[in-house]
Structures are given as structure tokens and as C-alpha cells.
Chain A
């Protein structure tokens, strides 16, 4: 592992009721987050390859952790998302290097498929900063019932020279979806959109 990991945190949320109405089966989503050292903290470095390679390793590790936390097989996952928060001594571009070039492929491998873009967010912040991870259906981005988000935070991260990297996976959409749009049983799942 190239990334120097200080901490790994997993979160599992199950929603059993919403406005007093039962959600059966409960909707479930999981996020796995790693706190790593930022090798480029405090200075401008042109070549960000090292962070891109870390993204690849973390994609596999965090996707496996999230799926394991849900207790499902990878292909049973329905939606996903990713996000990173860099500490105060970093550039936003460091988060981009972790997330965008190489993190997605191993996530898709763990989930069996993943034709859709992995929705993402990034920010710079101090320890305890909230990360809102956007969620979308893994094979068809337009599935409206699966547009969602999951907030996570780790109270002591990211420190100034750290990066918090997270992958979220669900086995379901929102608790009581009823705003229409494309449904998951209508998708082709080929172009990543519908």
C-alpha cells in the first residue's frame, strides 16, 4: 500500500421509517473512509501521479469495506458515490488526483459493473469537516429514485497534512421515492445514463 493510512472508518445507515411510514425492507447505505497522509502537503508539486496511484489502491480497499459493511455481494449494490476532503495545507487538486483518474476502476470491479459516472464531491477543511457524498445509480445515472447523498465526518480528520477519502455504496435508493422519473426496473444499463 502506497498510501500511509492513519485510520479507516466505516458507517452503515439503515432507515426503518420515514414520517411514521414503514420502510420495508429498510434502505441501507454504507461509507468507508480512509485518513491518509498527503505527501504533497504544504508545497506546490506539479506531478500528482503518486496521489493518483493511491486513489487506485483506495478504490479497491474502500469499496470492499463498504460492501462488506452492508453484508452484500458487490453486484447487489445499487448506487455509489465518492468524495475527498483535503486538510488545510493542501490544494483541491490533490483531492481531484485521488478521486478522478484511477479510483473508479477498482470500485467498479468490486461491484461487478458500474456503467454510470461515479458522482463525487470534494472540499478543503479542518478536522471534523462534513463530507456530503453524492449518490447515483451505478448503471444508469438518470434513475431518479437513487439520486441521494450521505453525510459523513471523522472528528479528528483531516489534519492539516492529511486527506480523508470516502467511497459510499447502497443496496437501495431513497426511503420512500415518489417523484417519478426513470425507475431501476426500466434501465438498460449500457450507456451509464438510462
Chain B
């Protein structure tokens, strides 16, 4: 059992009206919830770290709920998601991997059981490091219009002994999606892929 010590939280919401083409009737919205926490394993090799995943569950749920709120409050409006972590330089990449289970669990819980794997990325970096968080459709990973990404970061985080945790949700496809592939309207939504 480790204490989850939050230094800072950030919420970023983007509304995309167009990207040079016709403006969308409803702008695409992307939101990211970020939390900067103390890394309890910084500065040394700790063999047993997996217990921290459970400790992160409540924070994950809070972040996932804050995303739904930032996107208007209706979980049904959420169509894409992703997650990521930036580990401060006194930590190891494996500490970022602790976010996979609690981050994914939290979003599925809040969205009422999404089927697709939550795409993710992670890295070690200093304050201001940017992270491109991959995004895919919540029920079918192959929906091509929903392959997307959101860049995020915080000027003063992560410090060496911190981890920046991120969850991302979107309300729709890329604003001018037109490269074919599986459509959101065609999915079965059973196996998480198609």
C-alpha cells in the first residue's frame, strides 16, 4: 500500500471546428485529464511494484469522471479513448506501466464497459516533456475514422521523482475523416476489434 500524493491536476479540452475544410456541424472534442503524482519508487530499484496499481484506482476513476464532465457530462457522447504516462528521470519506464490497469479500468467503468483495448504510450522525460497519446474507438479498435492522437504536457512536470499520468477521451472522428476503412456505424462491438 503506497500513498498516492497528487501535486497537480490539469484538464485540457480541445474543440476542433475545422482543419481547412468545411466546418463540422458539431465540433469534435478531445479532453485530457492529467495528474502529477509522487513516484514512490524513484531513485532505486524496487522489485515489487505491482501493488501500486490498486492504489491508483481511485485517482483513475476521478480522472475518468472529470473527462466525461469536461466533455459535457454524458458518457454516451464518448467515442474514442487513450492513455499515457511520463515518468520523471529518477524513475524507470516500468513505473509508467503501472498505469495500464488502473487507467483502463477507470475509463471502462465510467463509460459503462467499453470493448476495445485502450491504446497507450509512455516514456521517461523531464519537465515539459510532451506526450502524443494515441486514441482509438472505444468499442472497435479498427474504426479508421477514430485513429487519432492528442499531444499533452505540463511545463513543470514531471520532476525527477514524479509521474505524470494521463487519460484522454474524444467525442468523435477526426474532423475531416475521409480515408475509408471500417466505419463506426458498421461495427459489431463484440470482440473489441470490429
Contact = CB atoms under 8 A, between A and B. Distances in A.
Contacts of B8: 13-17
Interface string A1-37: 0000111111111111110000000100000000000
Interface residues of A, number: 22
B130 interface: yes
Nearest to A9: B14
B17 A7 contact: yes
A183 interface: no
Contacts of A11: 10-12
A16 B6 contact: yes
B17 A9 contact: no
Contacts of A6: 16-19
A155 interface: yes
Contacts of A151: 155
Contact of A14 (B10, B19, B153): B10
A90 B15 CA distance: 24
Interface string B1-28: 0000111111111111111000000010
B15 A7 contact: yes
A77 to B, nearest CB: 18
Interface string B80-92: 0000000000000
8 contacts: A7-B14, A7-B16, A8-B14, A10-B11, A16-B7, A16-B9, A17-B8, A128-B151
Interface of B: 5-19, 27, 130, 151, 153-155
